[in-house]
Structure 1
Amino acid sequence: RAMDGGIDDVGLGVLFGLGAWRREFAALLMHAEHLEAVHGVGPHTISVPRVRRADGIDPADFAHGIDDATFARICACIRLAVPYTGMIVSTRESRAVRERVLGLGVSQISGASRTSVGGYAEPEAEEENSRQFDVSDNRSLDEVVHWLMGLGCIPSFCTACYREGRTGDRFMSLCKSGQIQNCCHPNALLTLKEYLEDYASPATRERGEALIRRELENVRSPHVRAIAQRHLAAIAEGRRDFRF
């Protein structure tokens, strides 16, 4: 209905644990297939949350809860079935689980999330009773960024496609052909550079600068690489908001 109404980017996801996971998983993929068939555009993202402890809620009370191994299987199968989509895992999951599924195709994770009303305006109290769910990964954003780079990942804060109007069928054609890499890779380096300049701890900044130097050599187009180098230098001088 959203796409019929003119919204050209949608995300899918089911809360695993409420029903039989195989049925939920099959329905999720059928939904993606339906969007492709009817609109020619599959889901921009797929989220894979599972029931977690919250105020008055114990995951052990849910008969259809899934263990870590099943969760990893679900992530791997989604990546194989819908290779173009972004897959999101939140701080519902622990560091160990997130590290495992990053190697199975998860492409987006959150950091330093707060799930209570007004949680980003004021520190959350331990007895907070307005939380949507309890967070399993409580590390700061800087710790998450540092960790990701240690795993060989490039933390990206990029929103360029939305800002450039690359959504819907325009985004999907670039994504499925692999051409989106010409935007994603340099944009990831530029947005990481901004983070390092404005927010990072000294250790994270040192690791990030080394990563950027290495990854610049992996930018395939010499023309794009040269532009990225100029933008990186400008960011170091205090300018912001460059994108491909």
Structure 2
Amino acid sequence: HLEETFNGVGPHTISFPRIMPATGTPYSERPRYTVSDADYKKLVAILRLSVPYTGLICTAREPDHVRREVIPLGVSQIDAGTRIGVGAYAKSKSANQLPDKEQFTIGDSRSLDDVVAEICDMHCIPSFCTACYRLGRTGEQFMKVAKSRFVHNYCIPNAIFTLKEYLLDYASDATKQHGTAVLNRHVEQFKGDPVYETIRT
């Protein structure tokens, strides 16, 4: 209906946060309707099949084992090193340290470096690219390249370059090893392409 009514425009991203315990909200401790891990994974898979061009977001509300399991099912965007309390980035070293000032409980409190290393170990490439937003490639313009899968011509090279930048400037030595290995695998898909030598170096 949305695509027919609004000239082919569909959802850019979809997020599906579950209710987590939160200060001052008794309902969150005992919600009447809960979504099991199994149903949550089914939801991700169904949405990926329904809207293959849409970014699916799994936030740090979810525990690390759930996030690990939904990435192969279709989740394409996650956060890491998240703080949600007022002033939390300045006042705490990790999530859930300011319970009286946080909106809800974080399920995955790992650092960005830890999450990047794990994604690389899954043979996926973490991307820090925000080119579409910065270039105004949104709405109908984004849908055209996303639905045709042409957007991959932007996403994959940008993912390679932004991960490389992260590895050079911020990653731990261990994560550099994980990241370099996954970069080498992804770069090889460009072999024979004119940009191969540029990307490889």
RMSD over aligned Cα atoms: 1.8
Is the CA contact (8 Å cut-off) linking 2:17 and 2:61 kept in structure 1?
Answer: yes
For 1:131 and 1:200, the matched residues in 2 are separated by: 28
Within the candidate set 76, 79, 94, 1:107 is matched to: 76
For 2:61 and 2:164, the matched residues in 1 are separated by: 28
For 2:46 and 2:191, the matched residues in 1 are separated by: 29
Is the CA contact (8 Å cut-off) linking 2:16 and 2:57 kept in structure 1?
Answer: yes
Alignment pair present for 1:77 and 2:65: no
For 1:220 and 1:47, the matched residues in 2 are separated by: 35
1:13-53 CA-to-partner distances (Å, cap 9, x unmatched) read: xxxxxxxxxxxxxxxxxxxx425532421111000101001
For 1:221 and 1:178, the matched residues in 2 are separated by: 21
Partner of 2:19: 51
Partner of 1:154: 125
Equivalent position amino acid for 2:89 in 1: Y
- Structure number with greater CO (CA < 8 Å, separation at least 6) is 2
Partner of 2:35: 66
- Between stretches 159-168 and 183-192, larger displacement belongs to 159-168
For 2:132 and 2:195, the matched residues in 1 are separated by: 17
Show structure 2 runs of 5+ residues with no match: none
Deviation at 1:170, TM superposition (A): 1.6
1:67-88 CA-to-partner distances (Å, cap 9, x unmatched) read: 1111111111111111110000
TM-score (norm 2): 0.91
Is the CA contact (8 Å cut-off) linking 2:2 and 2:9 kept in structure 1?
Answer: no
SS of equivalent to 1:185: helix
For 1:221 and 1:41, the matched residues in 2 are separated by: 35
Show structure 1 runs of 5+ residues with no match: 1-32, 234-244
SS of equivalent to 2:56: strand
Deviation at 1:220, TM superposition (A): 6.9
1:165 to 1:126, Cα distance in 2 relative to 1, 3 A: closer
For 2:107 and 2:165, the matched residues in 1 are separated by: 28
Map 1:85-100 → 2, pairs under 5 A: 85-100=54-69
Is the CA contact (8 Å cut-off) linking 1:35 and 1:43 kept in structure 2?
Answer: no
For 2:82 and 2:49, the matched residues in 1 are separated by: 28
Equivalent position amino acid for 1:145 in 2: V
Is the CA contact (8 Å cut-off) linking 2:113 and 2:175 kept in structure 1?
Answer: yes
1:168-187 CA-to-partner distances (Å, cap 9, x unmatched) read: 22211111111111110010
For 1:185 and 1:103, the matched residues in 2 are separated by: 17
Within the candidate set 169, 194, 213, 2:165 is matched to: 194
1:60 to 1:67, Cα distance in 2 relative to 1, 3 A: farther
Deviation at 1:125, TM superposition (A): 6.8
Is the CA contact (8 Å cut-off) linking 1:115 and 1:131 kept in structure 2?
Answer: yes
1:56 to 1:35, Cα distance in 2 relative to 1, 3 A: farther
TM-score (norm 1): 0.76
Identity across the alignment (%): 45
For 1:117 and 1:96, the matched residues in 2 are separated by: 27
Map 1:1-244 → 2, pairs under 5 A: 33-34=1-2, 37-57=5-25, 59-123=28-92, 126-219=97-190, 222-229=193-200, 233=201
Equivalent position amino acid for 2:15 in 1: S
